[in-house]
Amino acid sequence: NYPNPFNPTTTISFSVPKSENVKILIYNSIGQLVRTLVENHFTPGAYKVTWDGRNTSGSAVSSGVYFYRLSTPNFTAVKKMLLLK
């Protein structure tokens, strides 16, 4: 993601080599799901999604370490990001 640390938004870039379902989930530092950012079918290509530092209910989350998990049926990656206010 870029920028990292971020305030107020960060952009997560990813590429899809073949048509498949992609999920990007945001978690806080204790493993609680904060927001489902992406849950959709993608065709091959490069994509960008932006997280605005808000949870599922639309409330701004506090400063701290967050993790995003990008997963497909054949791949999973977890990366760390830092929200500074």
| pLDDT computed for residue 40 by the predictor | 97
- pLDDT tens digit at each of 85 positions of the chain: 999 999 999 999 999 999 999 999 999 999 999 999 999 999 999 999 999 999 999 999 999 999 999 999 999 999 999 999 8
Residue 5, helix vs strand vs coil: coil
As a whole number of Å, the end-to-end CA separation of the chain is: 17
* Contact in structure between 12 and 4 (CB atoms under 8 Å): no
- The string of DSSP letters for 46-80 reads EEEEEE-SB-TTSPBPPSEEEEEEEEETTEEEEEE
